[in-house]
Structure 1
Amino acid sequence: MANNRVDTSNLDQIIKKTVEAINNSKAELFDIAEGARKECVRLEKELEELKLKTAEVIESVQLLEIALKESKKQLMFVSKSYDKYSEDEIRKTYENADNIRVELAVKREREQYYIRRRNELELRLKEAYKTVKKADNLISQIGASLSYLTGDLENVSLQLEDLRQRQLLGIQIIKAQEEERQRVAREIHDGPAQSMSNIVLKAEICERLVDSEPEKAKDELKILKSVVRDTLGDVRKIIYDLRPMSLDDLGLIPTLQRYIETYQEESKIAVSFKTRGTCDQLKPVVSLTVFRLVQEAINNIKKHAHASKVTINLEFLEKELKLYIVDNGVGFDIDSLKTRGHNNNGGFGLISMRERVQLLDGNFEINSTIGKGTRLYITVPLIPEEGVSDG
């Protein structure tokens, strides 16, 4: 038994070090890709400014060329009528022509410089785009390699690592939570890699059996169909948890109604959901924030409150929305959250919710009494959709 424990420990350490090395490589690639994207933005801005300067100097050259032609005509006229002009007038005419010629030469030189600089920037921008594409491809490949190497053990390591991180993050936990969601979202297509590999193997088996043992091939196809269906269901669930597409397609209210219906079926907790007022120009960040607040709140109720009833009221006013969430659960001592600090049970979900609201300049209040349930009062300013006029 002792040897088994040692082997398991060693294996876990090897897996953790391997995963850590790969994740470090991914983090470096993320930095490279992000740096390249910033460079693209900077180059695009610089290129746009340079194009404007080039257009301006080209226009100046054209005007100076016209002015130079006029000055030459004036010189010819003065030369033919030399006796009609004073020496000072003749001198000024020559000086004017020389000044225009010098300025035109300077402008032409600047025009050529701008054109060369523009061409250089276009090449650099093209290379920056290539760097971003290569980095994204490498990130995808590393994600697939990570999935193949770790399998189910990776999930265990991630869960253990997540617990350790929660002890250290403290007040910055909301930022780490969102970064984790983004990381998972970028790797969604790599998540089911192990299942897809199994599908390929099953397909190859069916291909070999279809002529020699058709009945067995049918059985394998049934298994294959089940694996594909389960994998598709998992992917859809992951995607919905990360970012419900119905938020964009249907809006906040239908998405919440659908989520609450599913929640009631799974938790057996009665939820009353009512809305008042409407807001057709709700900014996506506000919709997503309200959805996450409701999601986090009722998940906390399911895990900790032992409630049988939850009431959710969402009210749209002229400049803000109000969200009320009340449960009849066991409640808790709010002051104890201040003393538990970084403890895993120290209100991780509530800290996350408060941070979300504060990021939108909203107000988050919570009242709870042991044995009498918990009440959340949340106010979020309504930010109009960008580019949408109020008129």
Structure 2
Amino acid sequence: MSHVNMDQLDKILKRTIDSIEQSKNEIYDIAEHAQQEYQQLQQELNELKTQISNTIDLVESFEKALKKSRLELMQVNKNFEKYSQEEMKEIYAKADQLRISLAVEKEREQMLIQKRNELEVRLKRSAKTVEKAENLINHVAIAMNFLTGDLKDISNQIEDLQEKKSLGIKILRAQENERQRVAREIHDGPAQSMSNVVLKSELCIKLLDRDLDKARQELINLKEMVRISIQDVRRIIYDLRPMSLDDLGIIPTLERYISKINEEHDIMIKFITKGTPCFLPSIISLTLFRLAQEALNNILKHAHATEATVKLSFLEEYIELFISDNGRGFDVEEVHKKIRDDGSGFGLSSMKERTELLDGEFSIRSELNQGTRYYIRIPLKENEV
């Protein structure tokens, strides 16, 4: 399958997962809306019941007042000669007002009761809707968990394939860049120096018959030039593969490398060994050295640390490398995202790949302003061949 087609398939899967998630969220919204509507209806019903209760109390009070007013009217009718025209008029007006108020409140009571009955019907329907929505959520959640889980597994597998392919391309580019770097260093360093040596030697031959003192000085300069060229060649060889790894082993090689860093940079790196050192296969020694080299280069370039520790532990079945610093740290997830998006941070992915090629474990932990910790564990028995 081509890289383009894999990208297209990955996009389709992601869109499908997003669509499923969106549908699930919409169902949740519907259920939530139904629940809110049920609660709102319940609140309206409670308020309406309170209004009905208050209206009933008011009707009863009007009925009592009207009954009292009727007794008063009977008294007036029997003894009308005792009341003035204005008093009788006021008593009759009061009775009429009570009858009107009572009629209004009774009408209001009937309307409220009818509204209550309608709300109770709506509330029952809403309760059934809520119950169905909750059941639907439960069933949909189970189905979607299975479905999205399978799709995510496929998407993750595609991402793994893409990452491995991308990593292979990066390794090829890194190898080519390394070859170009070595070629450039040889061209600009030893090769250029050897050309100058040839020119200087020709000059010395000519000066031997003319000026011995000047010839002697040119030979001294030539000797210094050859010495510097030898140092450049040794440095290039050391960068390609430290010979001390084969001659002395991983511990002296790391000690020498760390000591050189401490001399040349404003940082104090402690080197600690634990356990009984044993013979390590060449591939393990080289891998451990490269991992330590990459981690320390990251510390020097990015961490702004003042202290660091390199700990090498020889265990019965494993060898462990632990590197830590007190630098400014970084967001590990953000770096992993950059590796996936634009391929930056190749050093960390290369460290992980080197470790996994030996069936080892690689992890890195870091937090902003909390330093960084690298942990590498490589099994010994599987790699002794």
TM-score interval, smaller chain:
0.5 to 0.7
Counterpart position of 1:298: 296
Q: How does 1:277-356 map to 2 (within 5 A)?
A: 277-341=275-339, 346-356=344-354
Over the matched positions of the two proteins, sequence identity in percent amounts to: 50
Name the SS of the counterpart of 2:272 in structure 1. Answer: strand
**Shift in Å at residue 227 of structure 1?**
1.2
Figure out how many residues of one structure are paired with residues of the other and give that number: 220
Instruction: Give the counterpart of 1:208 among 203, 206, 230.
Output: 206
Counterpart position of 1:173: 170
| CA distance in structure 2 between the aligned counterparts of 1:225 and 1:208, rounded to whole angstroms | 17
| CA distance in structure 1 between the aligned counterparts of 2:172 and 2:380, rounded to whole angstroms | 22
Give the TM-score of the pair, scaled to structure 1. Answer: 0.52
**Shift in Å at residue 355 of structure 1?**
1.2
Q: Structure 2 vs 1, CA of residues 385 and 378 (structure 1 numbering), >3 Å: closer, same or farther?
A: closer
Q: Is residue 216 of structure 2 the alignment partner of residue 218 of structure 1?
A: yes
Q: Structure 2 vs 1, CA of residues 290 and 350 (structure 1 numbering), >3 Å: closer, same or farther?
A: same
Give the TM-score of the pair, scaled to structure 2. Answer: 0.52
Assess if the C-alpha contact under 8 Å between 2:365 and 2:372 holds in 1.
yes
| CA distance in structure 2 between the aligned counterparts of 1:239 and 1:328, rounded to whole angstroms | 32
Q: How does 1:127-206 map to 2 (within 5 A)?
A: 170=167, 172-178=169-175, 180-181=177-178, 192-206=190-204
Assess if the C-alpha contact under 8 Å between 2:352 and 2:362 holds in 1.
yes
Counterpart position of 1:380: 378
Q: Structure 2 vs 1, CA of residues 257 and 177 (structure 1 numbering), >3 Å: closer, same or farther?
A: same
| CA distance in structure 2 between the aligned counterparts of 1:381 and 1:357, rounded to whole angstroms | 10
**Shift in Å at residue 359 of structure 1?**
1.0
Q: Structure 2 vs 1, CA of residues 235 and 366 (structure 1 numbering), >3 Å: closer, same or farther?
A: same
Name the SS of the counterpart of 2:245 in structure 1. Answer: helix
Q: Structure 2 vs 1, CA of residues 355 and 282 (structure 1 numbering), >3 Å: closer, same or farther?
A: same
Name the SS of the counterpart of 1:272 in structure 2. Answer: strand
Counterpart position of 2:140: none
| CA distance in structure 1 between the aligned counterparts of 2:261 and 2:341, rounded to whole angstroms | 28
Structure 2: stretches of 5+ with no match in the other structure: 1-164
Deviations 1:97-118 (A, max 9, x none): xxxxxxxxxxxxxxxxxxxxxx
CA root-mean-square deviation: 2.7
**Shift in Å at residue 173 of structure 1?**
2.5
Counterpart position of 1:91: none
Q: Structure 2 vs 1, CA of residues 274 and 371 (structure 1 numbering), >3 Å: closer, same or farther?
A: same
Structure 1: stretches of 5+ with no match in the other structure: 1-167
| CA distance in structure 2 between the aligned counterparts of 1:385 and 1:368, rounded to whole angstroms | 30
Report the AA paired with residue 241 of structure 2: R
Q: How does 1:235-246 map to 2 (within 5 A)?
A: 235-246=233-244
**Shift in Å at residue 280 of structure 1?**
2.6
Q: Which has the larger radius of gyration?
A: 2
Q: Structure 2 vs 1, CA of residues 247 and 384 (structure 1 numbering), >3 Å: closer, same or farther?
A: farther
| CA distance in structure 2 between the aligned counterparts of 1:348 and 1:203, rounded to whole angstroms | 46
Q: Structure 2 vs 1, CA of residues 200 and 268 (structure 1 numbering), >3 Å: closer, same or farther?
A: same
Deviations 1:276-309 (A, max 9, x none): 1234331000000000111110111000000000
Report the AA paired with residue 352 of structure 1: S
Assess if the C-alpha contact under 8 Å between 1:331 and 1:374 holds in 2.
yes
